[in-house]
A and B are shown apart, each in its own frame.
Chain A
Amino acid sequence: MSEQQDYEPRVVAFLCKWCSSAGSDLAGVSRIQYPANATPITVPCTGAISPMYILSAFNKGADGVLVSGCHIGDCHYLEGNYLARRKMYLIMKLLEFIGVEQNRFRMSWVSAAEGAKFAQVITDFVGDLQQLGPQDKLKRAENK
């Protein structure tokens, strides 16, 4: 257990530009502290996130992958998050199916006004990943 407490999960966080990235900016402006484990990659829309990105992040050694975008109905591009919801559901189910722990992939809706929620999402996710320990199922050997 003590080993796990020192362990720092590595998270790739795909954030949509309009809501979740803006929400994380608000968390910053509000100085809400959260773990530094998640590195954000800002994309135009969750709809632009290919399932390939999720697999690739795990393959490149991520312990967890987060996808976060606008709430349903609020997509800047109207439908992008609906498309993302379906794609991400499928990749999540596939990961679960081969036995990857459910808590390694997470999706959330965080609006530009939800700075506190953004911080909470990261905090919870990192906490859950700490319980799981390192991800080595999809991780490429040379990165192990």
Chain B
Amino acid sequence: MIKLQDIRDTARDMLAKGEARAVIGYRRGSRGMLAEPAFLTRPEEADELVWDPTCFHNLSLYLVHDRKHLAHARKTAGAPVAVIAKGCDARSIVVLLQEHYFQREDVYIIGVSCEGTGVVDERKLAGHLNGAQAISAAFDGDDFVFTTAEGEKRLPAREVMADRCLECCSPFPKEHNLAFGEDKTGRQLEAPFAALDRFEAQGAGERWDNWARHFDRCIRCFACRSVCPMCYCDECVVDSITFPVTTATTAEEKASRIRWIERSAARSENITYLMTRAMHLAGRCTDCGECDRACPVNVPIRLLNNKMEKEAREQFGFEPGASIGGPSLVASFLDNDPGNFIR
């Protein structure tokens, strides 16, 4: 069981001694029970840190933001940034390290194990609270305890946890400088890709009908892209709005920008966008589930990324973020990669 005080003490200590330029963690948010990301720079802020089942944000995203900010301000990094990372978040950091987005010494990983549980799925929780609003949430063994205006509500974590946490078999951040909580690697609450398998069990026609509805709803707000630490490109190849035009932009540069898709949020364009994103995340997505959570119209984006992850694992023996310095999925191959589909 993780003691919150330990995390706070570590953060305070690091900031006080100047061992970290900042600590990225979670603090109480402004909306109900939810935690929000916090970028702490002063030791006295350490007591704001929280650790509860609503700490779902993948904070490695803010490491990316930090690098962009530094680059924009033309500053050098100096001391590392400390970041609180769950198993999936730590794997994202590993992918970023593999892609040389920053160096290992630039980041101090304070790992937190999800132990036997994970983070809450608000949609699942809503079904259990009968309209009541939770104002706080806490871990307690295999249960989550929610406080509502009517009092405490104890629920088995398994009933309200996010699918990705149920299916997660490595809830412990393997790559870390310091880690809190028990290593429950290999725990199996549900089979990996269980939700995906349920979806895939449908016929092609049904799958299309489902996806067509989802793709129709997409408004291309790009929330999925914004919350994804892997979507760190300044220009998105499938979003011409991100192509900046400055006085320095040459005609040749403008001409070399391909408009693969149209801006309109038509189904065909939404599909192409989401499929491209899934391809670009193949071998890079660590299933933090943030895109899925952030989607305002509930497109099950995670399933697309999950599909790629499943193929990568089953056909190519590939697990994103497993170790720094490993191969990348689409830039490598094995002699016995599947080839039966080729005529």
Interface size on A, residues (CB 8 A): 37
Chain B neighbourhood of A42, CB < 8 A? none
Task: Please state if B341 and A89 are interface contacts (CB–CB under 8 Å).
Answer: yes
A-facing residues in B311-339 (Cβ within 8 Å):
311-312, 315-316, 329-333, 335, 337-339
Min C-beta distance of A23 to chain B, whole Å: 13
Task: Please state if B208 and A137 are interface contacts (CB–CB under 8 Å).
Answer: yes
User: Quick one: which of B262, B276, B282, B315 contacts A52, CB cutoff 8 A?
Assistant: B276
Interface centre among B311, B315, B343 (most CB of A within 10 A): B343
A51 within 8 A of B: yes
Interface centre among A52, A92, A98, A106 (most CB of B within 10 A): A98
User: Quick one: which of A100, A102, A106 contacts B343, CB cutoff 8 A?
Assistant: A106
Pick out which of these stretches binds chain A: B2-10, B20-28, B56-64, B264-272: B264-272
B-facing residues in A97-119 (Cβ within 8 Å):
97-102, 106-109
User: Quick one: which of A96, A98, A109, A141 contacts B268, CB cutoff 8 A?
Assistant: A141
How far is A11 from B183 in the complex, measured between Cα atoms in Å?
A: 52
Determine the residue in chain B with the shortest Cβ distance to A136: B268
How far is A100 from B211 in the complex, measured between Cα atoms in Å?
A: 10
User: In the complex, how many residue pairs between chain A and chain B have their CB atoms under 8 Å apart?
Assistant: 110
A94/B278 contact (C-beta < 8 A), A52-B237, A87-B330, A140-B266 known: yes
B-facing residues in A76-96 (Cβ within 8 Å):
79, 82-83, 85-87, 89-96
Task: Please state if B268 and A138 are interface contacts (CB–CB under 8 Å).
Answer: yes
B-facing residues in A46-97 (Cβ within 8 Å):
51-52, 55-56, 59, 72, 79, 82-83, 85-87, 89-97
Determine the residue in chain A with the shortest Cβ distance to B330: A87
Chain A neighbourhood of B138, CB < 8 A? none
Chain A neighbourhood of B205, CB < 8 A? 99
Min C-beta distance of A45 to chain B, whole Å: 14
Chain B neighbourhood of A97, CB < 8 A? 200, 207, 304, 307
How far is A74 from B343 in the complex, measured between Cα atoms in Å?
A: 15
A15 within 8 A of B: no
Task: Please state if A109 and B304 are interface contacts (CB–CB under 8 Å).
Answer: no
Task: Please state if B268 and A139 are interface contacts (CB–CB under 8 Å).
Answer: yes
Chain B neighbourhood of A137, CB < 8 A? 208, 212, 268, 271
Task: Please state if A107 and B342 are interface contacts (CB–CB under 8 Å).
Answer: yes
Task: Please state if B260 and A56 are interface contacts (CB–CB under 8 Å).
Answer: yes
Chain A neighbourhood of B335, CB < 8 A? 82
B279 within 8 A of A: yes
B135 within 8 A of A: no
User: Quick one: which of A83, A89, A92 contacts B331, CB cutoff 8 A?
Assistant: A83
Task: Please state if B342 and A90 are interface contacts (CB–CB under 8 Å).
Answer: no
Task: Please state if A89 and B271 are interface contacts (CB–CB under 8 Å).
Answer: no
Determine the residue in chain B with the shortest Cβ distance to A82: B333
The chain B residues found within 8 Å of chain A, CB to CB, are 200, 204-212, 237, 260-262, 266, 268-269, 271-272, 275-276, 278-279, 282, 304, 307-308, 311-312, 315-316, 329-333, 335, 337-339, 341-343
The chain A residues found within 8 Å of chain B, CB to CB, are 51-52, 55-56, 59, 72, 79, 82-83, 85-87, 89-102, 106-109, 121, 124, 137-141
Q: Nearest 7 pairs between A and B by C-beta?
A: A99-B208, A99-B207, A82-B333, A108-B343, A98-B211, A107-B342, A140-B268
26 contacts between A and B (CB under 8 A): A52-B279, A55-B260, A56-B260, A56-B272, A59-B272, A85-B337, A85-B339, A85-B342, A87-B330, A91-B279, A93-B308, A94-B278, A95-B275, A96-B204, A98-B208, A98-B275, A101-B204, A107-B342, A107-B343, A108-B342, A109-B342, A109-B343, A137-B212, A137-B268, A137-B271, A141-B268
